[in-house]
Amino acid sequence: MLDMIGIDSIEVRKVQQLSEIDGLIIPGGESTTIVKLLNMFDFVDDLKLHVESGMALWGTCAGMIVIARELADPYPTPINLIDIGVSRNYFGRQVDSFEAELNIKGIEGDPMRAVFIRAPIVQSTGDNIETLATVPATDDHPEQAVAVKSGRVLATSFHPELTRDTRLHSLFVQLAEDARIDENRTNAKRRLTEEPASKV
């Protein structure tokens, strides 16, 4: 999706690479595995420092679970990079996956088609959280937030990479561009690069 809008990207596998980027996407997948790997390879503390310094961050589906403040489920333990409470698999199992048309704040034009696969939901938000999109209430569920933002941290319940619509990716790229020209972020990258790196 980033290639489609002319953005070069790298796969981040080592902690040191966090100083080479201004935006990080934690994608969908298996949230428990992602959290285990982040801890196993000593990413958590460094990632928090980078986000605090202004790096843009986007968690999609499982990624949203990973970066949440708290989880309604017993596992995994999220790493608290955005002040939201999240519930996993809120809409049900794989067979309950669905698509919906969403009006997303900050995205101009027609509603965006969103693909929900074993999707989590935002159940609670802190004071500085901006809700960008919700799914309407149904007989089974109340209206719920599915896209939220706090500063340069973005979280979405759905998989925006499963359509050809790049508007949300473009919004995130703008957050990363803002980080790139942020003097505080530049100074923090320099400081974090000069300090002894975490393991790996």
What 3-state DSSP class applies to 171? helix
Residue the block writes with tokens 């509603």 = 111
Indicate if 143 belongs to the active site: no
Q: DSSP letter string over 128-143?
A: TPEEEEEEPP-SS---
Catalytic residue (choose from 11, 52, 130, 161): 161
Indicate if 161 belongs to the active site: yes
Residue the block writes with tokens 């460094």 = 46
Asked if residue 49 lies in contact with residue 81, where contact means CB atoms within 8 angstroms, the answer is: no
Catalytic residue (choose from 159, 183, 194, 195): 159
In single-letter form, the type of residue at position 192 comes to: L
Indicate if 159 belongs to the active site: yes
Asked if residue 120 lies in contact with residue 91, where contact means CB atoms within 8 angstroms, the answer is: no
Asked if residue 50 lies in contact with residue 116, where contact means CB atoms within 8 angstroms, the answer is: no
Q: How many CB atoms lie within 10 A of CB 85?
A: 16
Asked if residue 104 lies in contact with residue 132, where contact means CB atoms within 8 angstroms, the answer is: yes
Q: How many CB atoms lie within 10 A of CB 91?
A: 20
Catalytic residue (choose from 11, 30, 52, 61): 61
Q: How many CB atoms lie within 10 A of CB 123?
A: 16
The residues annotated as belonging to the active site are 61, 159, 161
